Structure 1
Amino acid sequence: MRLSLSVLALAGVLAAPVIAEESFPATLAGHAYLPALSLVEPPADAPRDLWISGKYTSGARNDQPMTVMGNTGGNYGAHDTGISLPFIGQPVQGMSGFAMTRAEDGSWYTLTDNGFGSKRNSPDAMLFFHKMAPDFDNGTVERRETVFLSDPDGKVPFRIAYEGTETRYLTGADFDLESIQVLGDEVFIGDEFGPYIIRATLDGVVKEVYATEFDGKTLTGPDTYSVYVPATAGTDYQVQRSGGYEGMALQPGTDMLWAMLEKPILLEGGETEGPFLRVIQFDPKAGEWTGESVKFALAEGATAIGDFNFIDETRALVIERDNGEGDAANACAEGATDTSDCYPNPAQVKNVVLVDMSDTDEDGYIRRIGHIDLLDIADPDGVAIEGLSPAEGSFTFPFFTIEDVARVDETHIMVANDNNLPFSGGRVPGEAAHNEFILLSVPELLGAE
């Protein structure tokens, strides 16, 4: 007999494991960045409308480039970021996932998300992925290629923003791309709106879009095309807004995809099923959900994950994070009304966790082996780029959204942030965050069993 989602969830909450794991050291081995204001030209055959992006981010259409200042919002100090919308061109902006498989030239496949944060404000933000090559010797990141997603064969199961065009390029009004893997000559992308898995060619042509099947039901979110307002959380949709596939890992040996939701699933009544995330298995060769799933338990204070990648056939890395932004050393005083030079909601939980996907308990929780703390990174050799590190103490990576992690070799991993251009800071109040890439020496973490 198949149990209902609510019954399964209750059992999961009651059996939620107590997290007591080892914290391993991390040492900064490389630091590079892509400047925040990095733009790319649309393809020559794209509609002219796409040459100005971010026209809908201030509540009413605005066609005048660089006239509306980016701001972090009240929760993060209401800091202006020094970069204004709309943009001339398309923002390369926040990196939102590394593929485990590298390109033939050694660069990394990485993804830009939906544009400006929502379906409503991103209809002129093109969707694309890149080949990126960080140069840790020079502190720079080379964008070697950008591939724009399109739907010329009408595979997307709903009306897209550029439905009537010949090229049918996809935008942030269609999907919110958050995770990427490359398998053979195809790319698989995890989306947050559906949530969906998108299958495409390496030149960006969509071949299939898969809705999520879990526990005998199709999971939907508030931005799924088939969900209509008014809609009841937990009844009409189960996945939280911005809670779809933030992480999607490709398992070596099996070539199975494991898609991890960013946030806990909603139950009837609107409550979440517990402080854990569902990880659901998809067979890319068959184009089907297998029915297998496990649970990832969040540490205390963590609210979401940022990326998910295997390092071998069973062990994987997961970024878990809170919603904080900015270094705690520059936190606002309690009750402060002037937040212009401080962070009212500083980063507290930013971890890279090593898990064993082959080791689950009786309630389906995967074993957490240990973690590193991205707010406590040693830098004995002064590797950090000047101006992009605390004045004293450990190197920190205190960004709101940290959404990229991958194993580089037997002793190193690479981590990068999504800078939510132009709406996030994190380093200096009043300055937009760059896309930072950090190389970390973590032999103890990678060697842990």
Structure 2
Amino acid sequence: MRLSIAVLACVAGVAQPALAQNAQTEESFPARLAGHALLPAMTMAAPPADAPRDLWISGKFTGKTRIETPMSVAGDTGEKYGRHGTGISLPFIGQPVQGMSGLAMNRDRDGDWFVLTDNGFGSKLNSPDAMLFFHRMRPDFDAGTVTRTETVFLRDPDRKVPFRIANEGTESRYLTGADFDPESIQILNDEIWIGEEFGPSILRVARDGRVLGVFATELDGAVLSGPDTPGTTVPAQPGADFRVQRSGGYEGMALQPGTNLLWAMLEKPLLGNDGQPEGDFLRVMTFDPAKPGWTGDSYRFRLAEGATAIGDFNFIDESRALVIERDNGEGDAAKACAEGADPADCYPQPARVKNVVLVDTASIDEQGYMRRIGHVNLLDIADPDGKARLGGAAGQGVFSFPFFTIEDVARVDDSHIMVANDNNLPFSGGREIGRAADNEFILLSVPELLGAK
């Protein structure tokens, strides 16, 4: 028997306004490419002089067995994405700068952007020799280049991390991708605040990279954990022993002007008691750095149809914020594989949903959903001035940003935002088949989106 929407709403105790809002057609605003800058895929950072020698070669554990010879194993995009070669081989001499996973809302005094690199090679198991760090960067959209002015490595000399780290027995105690997966960054009172996925937890870090505190996540009075949280043992029952999905911790953490609260958003839906996602929405918890501690308040962000995760979250004023939502696709849909085609020359899972969404955190409905105001489509960007340095449709004035993980967005001024990708070196090639994706920074003119209420 099928029940009407009204009856279902009454049975489930669901408020009618939420249903009405979800049914509305959201406005799509135009975006114009105003600048395009590239940081080459093969960009490496030298470890600090006091780092263990093990960390001078990274990516040694990305295969089934240890890889000792630098640049000896070719990278590819994996079976789901056609196993396209990327032209870059592991392990690396030095530490890859790749993995642009977050932009801070506030810039440094000289105008540089604070940019975060993630855990290295995608998992806790394969990244024990990937160092954790953040940068100051300066995109030059006229020259099309990105300058890395500083790289700061995370370390735990004061033993603030409450579990054993990979470099526990060293004097320098540098942190690695076996310890945390940093995905979002903010700066407040000259301190760095980082949201990470494994805990999920929030890190308080000094400007020189020293960890000052680690805060586990609390929701409704209970501590949240995931399969990679220290202390989670196997076998474990999803939904019962942990509620956060793997790679589902903090992908976005926004700093709210005025209150200075951190709004920490999970990347994927929490798991219910049955081990399945609790819905098509993401949880957002607020943290007060002044305490420091959780406020107890939580909210919800509803994903658009086809979206599976978010990539970044940043306020543009005291209540409105930008959120990147995405599917798991990679590559131009115009080059999608036809049924039965050899995936070597096409994209078996192309990009379909890559949006920058504007939300209003001051407009929360009875169920805790923040209002979606509108969005811009990153797969349909106008480029009438030919600003694209890669990926523009020749003669058509159209530019696309078809990457698997787009994880950086911030307001630049009243009419512009900046967006950047995580290129998952050497495992992504969303721009061109057979070539590793660069770290691309794009400047978008979106006055209608930024002015929308």
TM-score by length of 2: 0.95
The aligned amino acid for 2:175 is: L
State the secondary structure of the residue aligned to 2:55.
helix
1:292 corresponding residue in structure 2: 297
Deviation at 1:389?
A: 2.7
Asked if 1:248 is matched to 2:248, the reply is: no
1:77-104 deviations in whole A, cap 9, x for unaligned?
1101000000000000120000001011
Cα distance in structure 2, aligned partners of 1:37 and 1:178: 21
Deviation at 1:268?
A: 1.3
Cα distance in structure 1, aligned partners of 2:276 and 2:269: 9
2:192 corresponding residue in structure 1: 187
Deviation at 1:63?
A: 1.2
Deviation at 1:418?
A: 0.1
Asked if 1:356 is matched to 2:364, the reply is: no
Deviation at 1:19?
A: 4.9
Asked if 1:217 is matched to 2:222, the reply is: yes
State the secondary structure of the residue aligned to 2:23.
coil
2:374 corresponding residue in structure 1: 370
1:308-339 deviations in whole A, cap 9, x for unaligned?
00000000000000000000111111222x11
Cα distance in structure 2, aligned partners of 1:414 and 1:420: 19
Cα distance in structure 2, aligned partners of 1:23 and 1:73: 33
Among candidates 69, 77, 83, match of residue 78 of structure 1: 83
Among candidates 111, 126, 144, match of residue 139 of structure 1: 144
1:163 corresponding residue in structure 2: 168
Among candidates 415, 418, 426, match of residue 419 of structure 2: 415
2:108 corresponding residue in structure 1: 103
1:259 corresponding residue in structure 2: 264
CA contact (8 A) 2:331 2:351 kept: yes
Asked if 1:398 is matched to 2:402, the reply is: yes
Q: How many residue pairs were aligned? A: 438
1:29 corresponding residue in structure 2: 34
State the secondary structure of the residue aligned to 1:340.
helix
1:210-257 deviations in whole A, cap 9, x for unaligned?
000001110000000110010010011000000000000000000000
Deviation at 1:391?
A: 3.9
- Larger mean CA deviation between 14-23 and 214-223 belongs to 14-23
Asked if 1:49 is matched to 2:54, the reply is: yes
1:369-408 deviations in whole A, cap 9, x for unaligned?
00000000000010000x4333464200000000000000
The aligned amino acid for 2:331 is: G
State the secondary structure of the residue aligned to 1:446.
helix
Alignment of 1:433-448 (within 5 A): 433-448=437-452
Cα distance in structure 2, aligned partners of 1:230 and 1:45: 38
Cα distance in structure 2, aligned partners of 1:269 and 1:384: 47
Cα distance in structure 1, aligned partners of 2:73 and 2:353: 32
2:391 corresponding residue in structure 1: 388
CA contact (8 A) 2:15 2:366 kept: no
Deviant stretches of 4+, over 4 Å: 10-16
The aligned amino acid for 1:390 is: A
1:159-217 deviations in whole A, cap 9, x for unaligned?
00000000100000000000000001210000000000000101110010000000111
Deviation at 1:11?
A: 6.0
Give structure 1 stretches of 5+ with no counterpart.
Answer: 1-9
Among candidates 209, 220, 234, match of residue 204 of structure 1: 209
Alignment of 1:332-351 (within 5 A): 332-336=337-341, 338-351=342-355
1:293-315 deviations in whole A, cap 9, x for unaligned?
11000000000000000000000
CA contact (8 A) 1:404 1:416 kept: yes
CA contact (8 A) 2:330 2:403 kept: yes
Cα distance in structure 2, aligned partners of 1:140 and 1:82: 21
CA contact (8 A) 1:111 1:129 kept: yes
The aligned amino acid for 1:371 is: H
Cα distance in structure 2, aligned partners of 1:302 and 1:207: 35
Among candidates 306, 330, 334, match of residue 311 of structure 2: 306
Deviation at 1:280?
A: 0.4
Identity percentage over the alignment?
71
2:7 corresponding residue in structure 1: none
The aligned amino acid for 1:201 is: A
The 1:159–1:312 alpha-carbon spacing in structure 2 relative to 1, beyond 3 Å, is same
The 1:397–1:13 alpha-carbon spacing in structure 2 relative to 1, beyond 3 Å, is farther
Cα distance in structure 2, aligned partners of 1:245 and 1:389: 32
CA contact (8 A) 1:13 1:273 kept: no
CA contact (8 A) 1:319 1:350 kept: yes
1:320 corresponding residue in structure 2: 325
CA contact (8 A) 1:179 1:191 kept: yes
The aligned amino acid for 1:320 is: E
Give structure 2 stretches of 5+ with no counterpart.
Answer: 1-11
Cα distance in structure 2, aligned partners of 1:127 and 1:367: 35
Cα distance in structure 2, aligned partners of 1:250 and 1:197: 13
State the secondary structure of the residue aligned to 2:334.
helix
CA contact (8 A) 1:416 1:436 kept: yes
Among candidates 279, 283, 287, match of residue 282 of structure 1: 287
The 1:253–1:432 alpha-carbon spacing in structure 2 relative to 1, beyond 3 Å, is same
Among candidates 244, 268, 275, match of residue 270 of structure 1: 275
CA contact (8 A) 1:54 1:124 kept: yes
